[in-house]
């Protein structure tokens, strides 16, 4: 007996917790969560391996397309022109200081780029180069205007302007099939762009001059009318302005002081002040003369007498020290002094009377002059106040005159400035590099087209492969079975490379198929806690997936290890195994009470017996739904250590769920690359609904590239290792 499977002495497998007796209701199996269409790296590598010829063909088609596109593409030449943009400067201080600030360079450059791409520049270029008359460019069909339109579209269509990210250099190119024409049009675009800018400036200044001329004419008429209104009002009101307010530089507000009345009032006020001063002086002199009294006036006639008296008084005082007053000499001196005093008094009285008369006359004259001037001043004050009232309207008209004159002067000055500096001037655009005819075309680019074709082909091929794989959505690998079905894969059977007999492959333990089934049988030992299940149903989603071959191979594998195995062909619709005696079979047992062993036939494999299907019944599902089938399985377990049931496919039939309900343990066979995920999932759901326990899945007809290991490589490596070991043994020990 093989040591891989340990059986008790009584020859019966132990009952595992999950290995219920036939007829019992087992618990519903549980599968882990299912993942659909999970494109990971392993899946992508598998898709590349499987669809490598499609991807390679797509890459070849892409390369061929790149070559064909290169051959069919018209060669195109491109010429470049570089322009320098000098943004204008904005005046921020007084003009005489010659200081300015640069305007927004980016906005100005962006504007120039837009103007360069405008249709107006393209049309001007077509006109300047006379492209409408060039038959090689626009042909000869159509009118002149139509040909000009085609030429304009041709110029605009070949232009490609590169907007500078920094700096003030604009670089553009023109593309054409003719290198000389490309350079000519590129240079023509530069010239037309500069000329159109100068023309726009000239037209703008001409429009400004025309506008200013109209405004100056209108303002001149307003100024003349306002001056005439001012003159008429001044004449009607008798206003004479001596300050020149109506002329240039005059005050905008009329001043009554500058009129004749104002000047007269000012003169009279000055004269009145002088008369008042003379009157005050005369009055003071007169009052001083009156207050001194008569004889006090000193004149030229009394001055001698006063001197003589002073001499006598001095002599009298001198002699008084030695002579008495009664002395005749002293009495004579006193008399002489008295006479002189009287004489001085008479002369003074006469002089004082004359002075008083003179001062009185002067005082009266000053008072009369002051009063006359005061009256004149009062009269002129009234006239000036009246003039001030009449000057309010005069001032209003005068302000209109000043406003119109200022506006007229400003417009006239601006007109002169435009006339002097508003001509063509210099352009803010200058040519740095002119275009030269290209020596070689830049399109088509064969390496670039080949790389693009190869990339497109690879991407398209990969996309087609992924799409086809997703549309097919089949189970191909162990990972697909785990991820898409949530079912553990207990084995993977490679696709047979020869067309020999399958039974012969099973007889050879060293064959690839036999090795794969041996690995599967070993894996089944771990599906329950006590080893391989005693009853096991083998089914699949659809026919021809390898379920019958797998049932036979597994039965033969267990039998080869010394286990008594009964293989039951329960496919009552299309049986896979035939016996020599047609009178025996499962259908007979289902319809009678015969013993099981009377219908079991031996096989060419030791320890392997077969319960064939027998005669095909008209109602397979009805026979399998009876309790007789569970009794047959129970009886088989009494005589055999393991029972393997070959079941019909699940899809479209009720047979498989009925058998699964009885056998309980189900091995689900999936053909690699053929079984669709949705159908397999529905089949598993039907089996689980019957209460079956899914012990795992078996992947059949798998290609070597889809497997997790390679049997051929393993065997080749084993033989190589053996030869190496033999080579290390000495010659005398090799036998």
SS3 323: coil
pLDDT over threshold 70, residue 134? yes
How far are the Cα atoms of 212, 453, 483 from residue 468, in angstroms, in the given order?
78, 22, 19
pLDDT over threshold 50, residue 260? yes
- The 10 Å CB-count burial string (b at 16+, else e) for 662-690 is bbbbbbbbbbbbbbebebbbebbebbbeb
Stronger pLDDT, 304 or 78, i.e. the higher one: 78
Q: What is the mean pLDDT of residues 210-234?
A: 79
Per-residue confidence at 530, pLDDT binned at 50, 70, 90?
confident
Mean pLDDT of the chain: 76
Nearest to 155 by CA among 200, 110, 124: 124
How far are the Cα atoms of 47, 49, 542, 674 from residue 470, in angstroms, in the given order?
10, 15, 20, 13
Q: What is the mean pLDDT of residues 94-105?
A: 51
Specify the pLDDT at position 24: 44
Q: What is the mean pLDDT of residues 215-220?
A: 80
Specify the pLDDT at position 416: 72
Distance CA 584, CA 607 (A): 20
pLDDT over threshold 60, residue 258? no
Tens-place pLDDT, residues 600-629:
999 888 999 999 988 888 888 888 888 999
Tens-place pLDDT, residues 701-730:
887 555 444 444 444 434 334 333 333 333
Longest Cα–Cα distance in the chain: 226
Stronger pLDDT, 220 or 38, i.e. the higher one: 220
Stronger pLDDT, 638 or 219, i.e. the higher one: 638
pLDDT over threshold 90, residue 207? no
Specify the pLDDT at position 156: 86
Element (H, E) at 91: strand 89-91
Q: What is the mean pLDDT of residues 113-130?
A: 86
- The 10 Å CB-count burial string (b at 16+, else e) for 280-294 is eebbebbeebeeeee
Q: What is the mean pLDDT of residues 592-602?
A: 89
For the chain, the domains span: 256-421, 480-732
Question: CA angle 332-300-280, nearest 5°?
Answer: 130
Distance CA 41, CA 24 (A): 45
pLDDT over threshold 80, residue 562? yes
Specify the pLDDT at position 568: 92
Stronger pLDDT, 668 or 717, i.e. the higher one: 668
Distance CA 358, CA 341 (A): 26
Specify the pLDDT at position 697: 92
Specify the pLDDT at position 383: 62
Distance CA 358, CA 362 (A): 6
Specify the pLDDT at position 733: 35
Element (H, E) at 694: strand 693-702
SS3 429: strand
CATH for 480-732, among 3.40.50.300, 3.40.190.10, 3.40.710.10, 1.10.1740.10? Answer: 3.40.50.300
Which span out of 53-62, 79-88, 158-167, 325-334 was modeled with the highest average pLDDT? 53-62
- Pairing between β-strand 89-91 and β-strand 100-102 as defined by DSSP bridges: antiparallel
């Amino acid at each position: 007996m093989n040591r891989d499977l340990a059986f008790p002495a009584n020859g019966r497998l132990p009952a595992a917790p999950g290995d219920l007796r036939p007829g019992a209701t087992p618990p519903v199996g549980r599968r882990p969560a299912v993942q659909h269409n999970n494109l990971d790296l392993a899946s992508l590598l598998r898709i590349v391996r499987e669809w490598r010829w499609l991807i390679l063909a797509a890459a070849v088609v892409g390369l061929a397309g790149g070559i064909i596109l290169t051959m069919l593409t018209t060669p195109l030449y491109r010429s470049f022109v570089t322009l320098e943009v000098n943004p204008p400067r904005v005046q921020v201080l007084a003009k005489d200081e010659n200081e300015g600030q640069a305007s927004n360079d980016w906005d100005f450059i962006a504007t120039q780029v837009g103007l360069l791409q405008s249709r107006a520049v393209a049309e001007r270029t077509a006109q300047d180069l006379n492209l409408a008359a060039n038959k090689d460019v626009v042909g000869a069909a159509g009118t002149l205007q139509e040909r000009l339109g085609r030429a304009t579209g041709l110029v605009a269509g070949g232009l490609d302007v590169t907007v500078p990210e920094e700096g003030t250099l604009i670089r553009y190119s023109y593309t054409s099939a003719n290198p000389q024409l490309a350079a000519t049009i590129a240079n023509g675009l530069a010239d037309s762009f500069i000329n159109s800018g100068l023309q726009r400036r000239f037209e703008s200044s001409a429009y400004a001059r025309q506008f200013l001329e109209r405004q100056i004419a209108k303002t001149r008429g307003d100024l003349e009318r306002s001056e005439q209104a001012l003159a008429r009002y001044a004449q009607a009101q008798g206003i004479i302005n001596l300050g020149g307010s109506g002329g240039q530089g005059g005050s905008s507000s009329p001043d009554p002081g500058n009129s004749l009345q104002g000047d007269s009032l000012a003169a009279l006020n000055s004269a009145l002040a002088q008369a008042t001063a003379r009157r005050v002086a005369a009055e003071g002199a007169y009052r001083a003369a009156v207050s001194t009294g008569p004889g006090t006036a000193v004149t030229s006639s009394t001055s001698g007498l006063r001197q003589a008296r002073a001499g006598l008084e001095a002599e009298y005082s001198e002699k008084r020290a030695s002579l008495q007053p009664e002395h005749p000499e002293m009495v004579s001196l006193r008399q002489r002094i008295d006479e002189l005093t009287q004489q001085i008094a008479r002369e003074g009285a006469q002089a004082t009377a004359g002075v008083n008369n003179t001062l009185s006359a002067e005082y009266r004259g000053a008072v009369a002059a002051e009063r006359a001037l005061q009256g004149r001043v009062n009269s002129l004050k009234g006239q000036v106040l009246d003039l001030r009232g009449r000057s309010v309207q005069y001032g209003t008209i005068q302000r209109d005159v000043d406003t119109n004159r200022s506006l007229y002067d400003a417009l006239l000055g601006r007109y002169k400035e435009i006339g002097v500096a508003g001509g063509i001037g210099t352009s803010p655009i200058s040519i740095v590099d002119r275009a030269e005819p290209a020596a070689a075309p830049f399109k088509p680019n064969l390496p670039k087209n080949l790389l693009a074709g190869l990339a497109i082909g690879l991407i398209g091929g990969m996309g087609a492969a992924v799409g086809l794989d997703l549309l097919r959505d089949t189970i191909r690998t162990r990972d697909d079975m785990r991820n898409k079905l949530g079912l553990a894969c207990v084995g993977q059977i490679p696709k047979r490379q020869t067309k020999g007999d399958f039974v012969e492959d099973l007889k050879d333990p060293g064959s690839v198929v036999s090795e794969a089934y041996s690995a599967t049988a070993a894996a089944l030992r771990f599906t329950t806690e006590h080893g391989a299940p005693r009853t096991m149903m083998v089914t699949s989603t659809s026919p021809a997936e390898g379920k019958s071959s797998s049932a036979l191979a597994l039965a033969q594998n267990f039998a080869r290890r010394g286990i008594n195995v009964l293989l039951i062909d329960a496919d009552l619709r299309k049986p896979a195994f035939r016996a020599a005696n047609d009178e025996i079979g499962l259908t007979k047992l289902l319809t009678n009470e015969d013993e099981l062993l009377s219908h079991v036939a031996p096989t060419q494999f030791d320890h392997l017996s077969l319960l064939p299907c027998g005669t095909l019944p008209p109602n397979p599902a009805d026979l399998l739904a009876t309790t007789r089938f569970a009794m047959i399985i129970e009886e088989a377990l009494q005589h055999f250590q393991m029972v393997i049931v070959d079941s019909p496919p699940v899809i479209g039939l009720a047979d498989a769920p009925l058998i699964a309900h009885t056998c309980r343990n189900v091995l689900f066979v999936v053909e690699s690359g053929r079984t669709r995920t949705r159908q397999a999932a529905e089949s598993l759901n039907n089996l689980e609904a019957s209460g079956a326990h899914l012990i795992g899945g078996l992947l059949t007809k798998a290609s070597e590239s889809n497997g997790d290991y390679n049997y051929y490589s393993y065997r080749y490596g084993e033989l190589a290792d053996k030869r190496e070991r033999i080579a290390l043994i000495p010659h005398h020990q090799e036998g």
